[in-house]
Structure 1
Amino acid sequence: MFDAGRYLERIGAWPDASLAALHRAHLESVPFENLDIHLGRPIRLDVDSLFDKIVARRRGGFCYELNGLFSRLLASRGYAVTPLSAQVASEQKNGTFGPEFDHLTLQVEDGGERWLVDVGFGDGFLEPLRLDDRGVQTRCGHDFRLVPEGERLILWRDLGAGWEAQYSLSLVPRALGDFTGMCHYHQTAPDSFFTQKRLCTRATPSGRVTLKEGALVLTQGQEKQEVPVEEEARARALAEHFGIQL
């Protein structure tokens, strides 16, 4: 059963925390990970299953799970929350995007403004973006833009060597159940990014920690260290850096 108090404890946030504080606390506490897919464990999008996994068992998840449950926490704090569908930019960087419902993100109303909230994109923005702002928005030292394209918005990020599209966003209101089909696809399709390799990553106050296939990547500011991790050492790395015990 959903318990907002336990959820806030899970992410280390006070009950009166701001939207930005909740967003950042979540990203620094709950990892983006696809480990259940590689263990053959089905991912369910009902709130009880999500709460049990992310809060009770202190696991992470991918966008449908993380933003799906975070939307419930925000609603419990009095925010007006609307799930939105996004199409993720192709890994080939050729200007194409995935299908509708490829990614779940959130529109949240706070202080008379609409905000783009996303705790399920891995290495994304650490604090919410103004959904109706078309200029450069700097969050924790990184620059982002929301650029109109037809009836959609393209989220761009400045990676230092130039701007790169992250995803194409539709502002049509959705429901969590609308994402069930693509959630199943990403768990089972051989060409899904999530079935091809294991990943666990979490923001830290000074950067990011990522466990990928064969290596642990520690980022602090502009410094990045990659340490080889043998298969038999993965469980120890998951426990030490993410608090995960499979």
Structure 2
Amino acid sequence: MSEFNLLFRKRIGLQIQEELNFSHLDLILEKTAKNIPFENLCIMKNKTQGITRENLISKLLVKNEGGLCYELNSLLYLFLLEHGFNVRLSRGVVYDNVTQKYPTFGRTHVTILLTHNEETYLVDTGFGANLPLRAVPLTGVLISSSNGEFRIEKKDTEYGDYVLLIKLKHKDTNWRIGYAFDSNDIISDVSEFNEIQTIIAEHEESPFNKNPLITQLTDEGNKTLTNSSFTQWVNGVVTKEVIDEIRYKELAKQHFGL
């Protein structure tokens, strides 16, 4: 077993002797979501590095930091690839449900497409608190998890040919668009995402270069930390604490190990 394999399993709490196949995907996705936070701290600190296999391993598995979609899904892609899964990376655009439109600064979301028994699935561990925690088939079949309901709609847009629809548990009463993605987009080299990292770090419309953000799913819901508030969802009940910089640093370490 490779050092990368061992480090990834240790980070998410997966047993060393556990053999992995398609039936284990749910377990992998849940453990990854609950152990590696979605966060933009390197962007905020202007301490980004090139997107390479070695740098991803160092950042997420050795230093035990979190990351954004292009880091989290790239790492999971490499792990699944090492275990013989038929996977490829794809780019998409996250929908802005406030303005009711797609942003125009680029296809900056990265997700994974996995093919099993001639059926293709969306696999995503880099979508903040909106994670399906399951492989979602491109056929449109509804998938339920502890985080809500998810399905994919075949729909041609200028950003791709499919759309992920989500209805989060305790949060959404109606379906909403998560993101559009291109199933024909074939990416196998994670270095292509250096372009995305540059856009995320530098573009004036990027939502991730304004303020620090850390979010992670938990067994009871999820928790989100910014430099001004700490929000927790526990079994459908939300609490929000207004915080200062000292409290922010305390909570980042206590709840996220950062």
Cα drift, residue 130 of structure 1 = 3.0
CA contact (8 A) 2:87 2:114 kept: yes
Q: TM-score, normalised to structure 1's length?
A: 0.92
Aligned to 1:202: 216
Counting matched residue pairs gives 244
Calculate the aligned-residue CA RMSD, in Å.
Answer: 1.9
Structure 1 residue identity aligned to 2:57:
F
Identical pairs, percent: 21
Aligned to 1:9: 10
CA contact (8 A) 2:29 2:133 kept: yes
Aligned to 2:44: 38
Match of 1:117 among 106, 114, 123: 123
Aligned to 2:163: 154
Greater shift after overlay, 226-235 or 57-66? 226-235
Structure 1 position 68 matched with structure 2 position 74: yes
Match of 1:220 among 234, 242, 245: 234
Cα drift, residue 100 of structure 1 = 4.7
Cα drift, residue 11 of structure 1 = 0.5
State the SS of the aligned residue for 2:209.
helix
Structure 1 residue identity aligned to 2:19:
D
Cα drift, residue 141 of structure 1 = 5.3
Aligned to 1:54: 60
Question: Which runs of structure 1 show a deviation greater than 4 angstroms over 4 or more consecutive aligned residues?
Answer: 97-100
CA contact (8 A) 1:85 1:170 kept: yes
CA contact (8 A) 1:85 1:100 kept: no
State the SS of the aligned residue for 2:51.
coil
Structure 1 gaps, min length 5 = none
Structure 2 residue identity aligned to 1:95:
K
Aligned to 1:233: 247
Q: TM-score, normalised to structure 2's length?
A: 0.88
Aligned to 1:169: 181
Structure 2 gaps, min length 5 = none
1:177 and 1:141 map into 2 onto residues whose CA distance is 31
Instruction: Mark the CA change 1:53 to 1:112 in structure 2 (over 3 Å): closer, same or farther.
Output: same
